[in-house]
């Protein structure tokens, strides 16, 4: 992509192996609130890419999204919350790709449904000083509405305008169809990676061209 100035990316399953890491999280969440039904992980898988409260609702349909929002905060502040266990690892090619993009003078940003404390912990564990490689970071708490709403990109759009850039010089990388729909709604070019649970076929069925689907974040080095 010529004239690329700003590359924004999702975090969970785009940069880190989050889905597998968080499977334990749902079971522990349920036990903490004395919910004895097993979490519906198939529904979580189907709705992966939505906000964490929405995923809690998928795992435990008796919990509304609004209630889940407060319950997630309570769980994260409880002694049952294992910060080490729930912190995923970045994929092996990520850090070298960040360094490659920086060498090309391409700014980096993050737009994710991950909570601020979760992202900060994950970044520090895997990459060192937060946010060494990134110019703008938007977590769940920063978004006016969650993806796929166009307004999820409102802070990014403001940053683009304030930096005298154009959306055509920007790219969003994500691992879910929800990421794709959000970028579409915001008018941001999109490239998918299939390091999460969304397959190439899923993206093709959603209307994304095969040339815009990569095996991993590291494959950006071969096309930029």
pLDDT tens-digit series, residues 13-67: 999 999 988 888 999 999 999 998 899 999 999 999 999 999 999 999 999 999 9
Beta bridge partners of 50: 48
Domains and CATH numbers, the chain: 6-17+88-222 (3.40.50.1000), 18-76 (no CATH)
Identify the pLDDT of residue 82: 82
**Residue 86 confidence (pLDDT) above 90:** no
Which residues on adjacent β-strands are paired with residue 137? 110
pLDDT of 2 over the 80 cut: no
d(CA 136, CA 161): 13
Count CA atoms closer than 13 A to 152's CA, side-chain side: 28
Query: Residue 12 in 3-state DSSP?
Result: strand
Residue 34 corresponds to which tokens in the numbers above?
């004395």
Each residue's pLDDT tens digit, 123-171? 999 999 999 999 999 999 999 999 999 999 999 999 999 999 999 999 9
Is the Cβ–Cβ distance between 40 and 46 less than 8 Å? no
What is d(CA 154, CA 113) in angstroms, rounded to the nearest whole number?
14
Residue 84 has pLDDT above 80, yes or no: no
Split at pLDDT 50, 70, 90, the class of 5 is very high
Nearest-angstrom CA–CA distance, 185 and 180: 9
- pLDDT classification of 75: cutoffs 50, 70, 90: very high
- Which among 108, 87, 88 is positioned nearest to 98, based on CA atoms? 108
Does 80 have pLDDT greater than 90? no
Task: Give the burial class of 66: count Cβ atoms within 10 A of its Cβ; 0-12 exposed, 13-18 middle, 19 or more buried.
Answer: exposed
d(CA 55, CA 81) in angstroms, rounded, equals 17
For residue 18 the two structure tokens come to 């989050």
Closest C-alpha to 174, from 58, 18, 1, 23 = 18
The answer to whether residue 1 scores a pLDDT higher than 70 is no
Is residue 95 scored above 70 in pLDDT? yes
Computed over every residue of the chain, the mean pLDDT equals 95
């Amino acid at each position: 992509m010529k004239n690329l100035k700003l590359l924004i990316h999702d975090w969970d399953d785009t940069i880190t192996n989050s889905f597998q890491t968080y499977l334990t999280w749902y079971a522990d969440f349920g036990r903490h609130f004395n919910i004895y039904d097993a979490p519906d992980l198939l529904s979580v898988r189907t709705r992966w890419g939505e906000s964490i409260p929405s995923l809690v609702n998928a795992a435990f349909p008796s919990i509304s999204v609004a209630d889940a929002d407060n319950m997630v905060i309570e769980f994260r502040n409880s002694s049952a919350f294992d910060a080490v266990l729930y912190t995923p690892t970045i994929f092996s090619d990520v850090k070298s790709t960040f360094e490659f993009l920086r060498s090309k003078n391409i700014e980096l940003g993050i737009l994710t449904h991950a909570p601020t404390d979760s992202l900060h912990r994950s970044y520090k564990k895997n990459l060192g000083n937060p946010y060494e490689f990134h110019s703008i970071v938007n977590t769940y708490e920063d978004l006016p509405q969650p993806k796929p709403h166009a307004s999820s990109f409102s802070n990014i759009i403001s940053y683009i305008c304030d930096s005298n850039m154009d959306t055509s010089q920007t790219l969003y990388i994500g691992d879910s169809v929800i990421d794709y729909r959000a970028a579409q709604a915001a008018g941001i070019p999109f490239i998918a990676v299939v390091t999460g649970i969304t397959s190439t076929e899923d993206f093709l069925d959603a209307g994304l061209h095969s040339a815009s689907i990569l095996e991993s974040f590291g494959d950006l080095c071969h096309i930029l």
